[in-house]
């Protein structure tokens, strides 16, 4: 096995290199994090970009075994935010110089939903004079729908592959047409075809997931030339079927530690993509997102969902900031980023440099 310093200086990491790095501890781990920080400073700088997160609706037609808002969770009240409140949240993000928003919701593919989203995108563009960047995170849709939303003015789309391992994917989803691994890959390619900057990601520390699976996940992200990534620790939810597998889980701290390593290694592999410091990190460690930024992430997604609804968008337990106002979040962003020596890119879209550079993307 190569010494860690040799691996860290390679221009192209192999699967074995990644497996080694995912298992480093102590001084070697410090070297890993130092390397990813250096690369971030070189290729991205210390600027963090904001995406105001609007959790538009927790209505979902799918039944993922891990997710608290899955269709079969009858204990969950359902909501969809009224148009004027969505626009108000977007306006709040715009006036507070966030630069961009993300509209996220459970999955729906009916025409009413599709048209509603198109309408909201257009209205948000209008209220911000075209200035507010819009990312969508609305699941698997047809190419036609992706195109409609792109043409309406959204320009980035997130769809996590969740795990790049087909067998594991099948174990954490029902086995039917709605939860089909190949369809998910096709959706990713269609998102890119429609013109979006493409984001995906995985959950880390799932029951039955191996270190080798995680190495394959990172290779998958490099292979499909992803522009942006959101990866977070898996967090169990007691009202989901996967909760039965709890005995197979690593501790939350271990899942958190693995997530930091995944972010750090990915930054070394893909130097100028956008990497989000996801909310699930903060559910385990109050400084989880800040640490992720130190190790290579450069995107923060402060929640701007009206307070009333926040408690109902519980994909997992212990979700942070569920009882806060956006105003509270706002005051803490600068302070928190200042603590780790980062600055905030106010009023900027902060698009993936990797995307902007790669005009000759493979489109199929
Ligand atoms: N733990 C962590 N992340 C989860 N997600 C859904 N359920 C959980 C959970 N229990 C993530 C999925 C999904 C994203 C919106 O939230 O990766 O794509
Ligand atoms: Fe809603 Fe998975 S449960 S998309």
Tokens at 119, concatenated: 């309408």
Where does residue 14 fall: left (phi above 0), alpha (psi -120 to 50 degrees), or beta otherwise? beta
CA angle 102, 103, 108 (to 5 degrees): 145
CB 54 within 8 Å of CB 305: yes
Instruction: Tell me if 62 CB under 6 Å of ligand 2.
Output: yes
Q: What is the pLDDT of residue 359?
A: 57
Residue 219's nearest CA partner among 171, 164, 158, 166 is 164
Contacts with 363 (C-beta within 8 Å, 6 or more apart), sequence order: 189, 192, 193
Q: What residue ranges do the domains of the chain occupy?
A: 27-363
Nearest residue CA, atom 18 of ligand 1? 160
- Answer yes or no: is the C-beta of 232 below 6 A from any ligand 1 atom: yes
Instruction: Kindly report the backbone phi and psi dihedral angles of residue 216, in degrees, each rounded to the nearest multiple of 5, phi listed first.
Output: -65, -35
Q: Are 275 and 266 in contact (CB under 8 A)?
A: yes
Ligand with an atom nearest the CA of residue 249? 1
pLDDT, residue 364, reads: 39
Q: At what angle do helices 143-152 and 111-127 cross, to 10 degrees?
A: 20
40 close to 288: Cβ distance less than 8 angstroms: no
Query: Which of 134, 137, 138, 117 is closest to 125 using CA atoms?
Result: 134
**Ligand 1 pocket check for 255: Cβ under 6 Å:** no
246: helix, strand or coil: helix
- Ligand 1 pocket check: which of 69, 103, 203 to mutate, most ligand atoms within 8 Å of Cβ? 203
Joined together, the tokens standing for residue 15 give: 């699967």
- Ligand of minimum distance to the alpha carbon of 237: 1
* Confidence (pLDDT) at 317: 84
Mutate to test the pocket of ligand 2, among 57, 67, 163, 176 (most ligand atoms within 8 A of CB): 67
> Is the beta carbon of 269 within 6 A of some atom in ligand 2?
no
Q: Which residues contact 18 (CB under 8 A, 6 or more apart)?
A: 215, 218, 219, 265, 269
SS3 306: coil
Q: Residue 2: its pLDDT value, please?
A: 78
What are the DSSP calls for 111-123, one per residue? HHHHHHHHHHHHH
Q: Give the pLDDT of residue 325.
A: 62
Model pLDDT, residue 336: 87
Residues of the chain with pLDDT under 70: 321-331, 359-364
What architecture (CATH level 2) is domain 27-363? Answer: Alpha-Beta Barrel (3.20)
């Amino acid at each position: 096995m190569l010494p860690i310093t040799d691996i860290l200086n390679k221009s192209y990491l192999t699967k074995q290199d990644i497996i080694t790095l995912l298992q480093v501890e102590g001084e070697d781990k410090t070297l890993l994090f130092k390397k990813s920080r250096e690369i971030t400073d070189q290729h991205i700088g210390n600027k963090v970009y904001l995406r105001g997160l609007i959790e538009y609706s927790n209505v979902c037609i799918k039944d993922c075994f891990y997710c608290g808002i899955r269709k079969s969770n009858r204990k969950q009240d359902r909501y969809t935010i009224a148009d004027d409140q969505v626009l108000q949240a977007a306006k709040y993000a715009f006036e507070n110089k966030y630069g961009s928003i993300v509209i996220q919701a459970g999955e729906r593919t009916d025409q009413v939903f599709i048209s509603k989203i198109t309408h909201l995108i257009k209205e948000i563009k209008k209220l911000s004079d075209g200035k507010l960047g819009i990312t969508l995170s609305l699941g698997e849709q047809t190419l036609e729908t992706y195109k409609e939303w792109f043409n309406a003015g959204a320009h980035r789309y997130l769809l996590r592959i969740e795990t790049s391992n087909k067998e594991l994917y099948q174990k954490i989803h029902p086995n039917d047409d709605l939860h089909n691994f190949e369809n998910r890959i096709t959706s990713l390619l269609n998102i890119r075809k429609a013109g979006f900057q493409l984001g995906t990601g995985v959950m880390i520390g799932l029951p039955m997931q191996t270190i080798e699976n995680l190495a394959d996940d990172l290779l998958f992200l490099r292979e499909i030339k992803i522009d942006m990534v959101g990866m977070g620790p898996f967090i169990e939810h007691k009202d989901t079927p996967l909760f039965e597998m709890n005995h197979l889980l690593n501790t939350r701290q271990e899942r958190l530690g693995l997530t930091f390593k995944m972010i750090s290694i990915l930054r070394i592999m893909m130097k100028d993509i956008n990497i989000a410091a996801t909310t699930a990190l903060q559910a385990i460690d109050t400084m989880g997102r800040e640490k992720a930024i130190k190790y290579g992430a450069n995107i923060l997604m402060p929640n701007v969902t009206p307070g009333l609804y926040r408690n109902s968008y519980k994909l997992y337990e212990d979700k942070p900031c569920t009882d806060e106002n956006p105003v509270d979040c706002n005051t803490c962003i600068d302070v928190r980023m200042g603590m780790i020596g980062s600055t905030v890119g106010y009023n900027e879209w902060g698009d993936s440099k990797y995307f902007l550079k790669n005009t000759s993307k493979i489109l199929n």
